Structure formats: C-alpha cells, structure tokens
Amino acid sequence: MIKVFTNCSIFNGETFVGNRAVVTEGNKIKKVVHKSNLVGYDNIIDLKGALLVPGFIDLQVNGGGGAFYTQKASVENYKISNKAHLDFGTTSLLPTLVSTSLDNIVAQCDVVREMMKDPDSGVIGIHVEGPFFNPEKKGAHSLDFVREATDYEIEKIIEAGKGVIKILTCAPEVVKEKHIKMLVAAGIPVSAGHSSCTYEQAMKAFDAGVTKVTHLYNAQSQFTSRAPGLVGAYLDSSDDVYGGIIVDGVHCNYASVRIAHRAKKGKLFLVSDASFVKHPVDNFEIDEFKIFFKDGMYLTETGNLAGSAVSMLDSVQNCFSEANIELAETLKMSSRYPAEFMGIDDEFGYIKKGYRSDFVVLERDTLNLIDVYKSGVKVKIDKVITTE
C-alpha cells in the first residue's frame, strides 16, 4: 500500500528539510517529493507540523517488557523485549547477551538467525557482550562465566555466529591478537570493553582489527595524565574506531558525553544498554546473579550498574536537552552512525528513496513521542507499566 507522510519537518539523515512529503510503498521509501507535487494520492498522513526522523537503531540492548534476552533463547522471549523498545522508537536492534555459557551463545545465535529471516522483525543480528573480560572490570557480569578465550571457544563462536554476531565485546588484554584477527576475518566485528587494558594494549588491538569501544567510560581503564587507558585510546583513535555511549545521566556525566562527541564526532553513537524498559522489573536473577531496580537504576548486590533503565527515545532527549548536542547530530547518533558502523547505511539511517520506511514521529519542541512506523505500518503502542 502506498502512503504519503506530509506536513512535517523531515530529518533525512543529513539535515532537516521542509515542504517535502515522503511516499512509501510497503517497507520501502518510494520517493521524497515537494509537497506541491502531491497529486493523485489517497492515503495521505498529515503529521501536523511534527518531526519525521529515521527509526532508532540500538546496538546494545539487554531486555525489555519483562523479558531478558540472555535468560531464555526463544523467539517469544525476543519478541516481548523487541516490542517494548519498538514502542519507544527503536525499529532495529541488536539483542545483547551478557556473559554466559558457550551452549547458550550457540542457542541464542540460532534464535537470532531465525528472526533475521523476517526483515520486519527489527532484529539485525546479535551483540555478544562477553564472556572474555578482565575480572577486575566484570561490572554486572557473573564471575561464573567471565573467562579467558580459548582457540576452541573462538572457533565454535565463529561457527555458530557467522552472519549473525554483529558485535563481540571482549577485553583486549584477555584475548590473543590471533583471536581478534580470526573473528574479524570471519566477519564478526570486535569491540573493546570490560577491560583494564593500557593505552598501548588498546592501540595494538585497534591495529589488530578492533573497530569499536563498548559503553564508553564504563567498565574500562580511564583517562589519566600518565596512563590514558582505553578511554584515552578511543578518544585518540583513528576514524575507523566507533564507540557506543549510554546517555542516561547515570553511566557518565553529560559533560563527558560532550567531550567524547567533540573528539569523535561521526564515530560516537547512542546505545540504551537497557536491562528493561516499558515494564520495569524490581529484581531478577540471571544465572544466580541478582539484579535490583532502585532509584531508576539497575544495580547488582555490590552496587555495580547493571545496564540502564532508559530507552533510545530517552537517550535522544537527554543527548539534546542535557548534553546540549545539536538536534541533527543527536539524531545521527541514534540512527545514521550505528547504521554506518553496521554497514547497513544503504538501507537504514536515512529518509531517502530506497531506504526502509522505519520512522519516528516526534513533537517539534519537546521531542516527545507521537507515533512509530515500522516498515510503513503504524505501531500500536502499548501502555507503559510502572513499578510503584
């Protein structure tokens, strides 16, 4: 069915344009035309002056709607969490596993492979966060599963994750350089995280093929005057290295977001790292590892942060209003830049002819959510459930 979205300010992935209309057919954008050329169309959607922006792309999300990906390898479990994030404008995502057993990683890859067969599922792969971490920087990952990489396990992950694993996060000082090269050669991008590596070790890992840093500033060696650490290495890295950042006002100061943005503009993107959204969970266990919800945060028994409680919509609003990053750049950080990292920016991250008809409609002044369209279809947004 052909639909026409008009009377809006369109962020096309590069800039805002007015007096235009977006014509879609099914899950693709057929064309973007001047609104004076709208002749012969019946299904016209008047957006009443709102903002029309590309659907958000979240490359690190742990769960939502009461479901947690790592806990259960099933299509049903994934659909519950995916829908919770879709209701906040996340039209594409990487379900993310916390450190777990090899058997569970393999089982989860099978689920994701099945979901990826449906181009409208929103699942564009999986992010395997761990288990090859430095125990000192385990964060909310269970020590029962944090371990050093072996040739056997890397080979099994490559076998199970071919075409499915789109990010594997590990600590550069825990994996061998040959393991990084094996993963990259197999088409699995490697991200540095949960690491106490030195600046020099990080730079060596970048040279070996690491192209991303996971949740910048968190669970990694910090920048100091004599030891720049992983944070300093990322800020000093080449344009080949991207970074994800959690902009919830908890994981890092908003000034730190601005500083990172100035250093890595175009290579820094938003991630939610959400444990749950839509249906907050007071407490839960993952492999006997207990997590609690308190004061808007998910925490372990020892007080470590355990993911976030924000959506990508929250992240966009915070990035713009609290970190004071201009709106066009904020929106690039929520869609275009993650699409570029994934190598899918020929189909996602823009509102242009031939791109996916995945849109978020926002109020112009407040950036509050009005509507979400996935594959050109308006999403029926479920009511938010709160814990009181």
For 168, the 3-state DSSP assignment is strand
Catalytic choice (58, 87, 248, 273): 273
Q: Please state the three-class secondary structure of 269-288 as a single string.
A: EECCCECCCCCCCCEEEECC
> DSSP states of 171-238 as a string?
-TTTS-HHHHHHHHHTT--EEE-SB---HHHHHHHHHHT--EESSTTSSBPPP-SS--HHHHHHHTS-
Residue 143 near residue 135, CB atoms below 8 Å: yes
Q: Which residues lie below 8 Å from residue 351, measured CB to CB, with a gap of 6+?
A: 10, 11, 12, 13, 22, 29, 32, 52, 53, 54, 359
Burial class (CB in 10 A: 0-12, 13-18, 19+), 282: exposed
> Does the annotation mark 273 as catalytic?
yes
Residue 8: beta bridge partners? 50
Q: Which of these, 174, 170, 168, lies nearest to 128 by C-alpha position?
A: 168
- As annotated, the active-site residues are 273
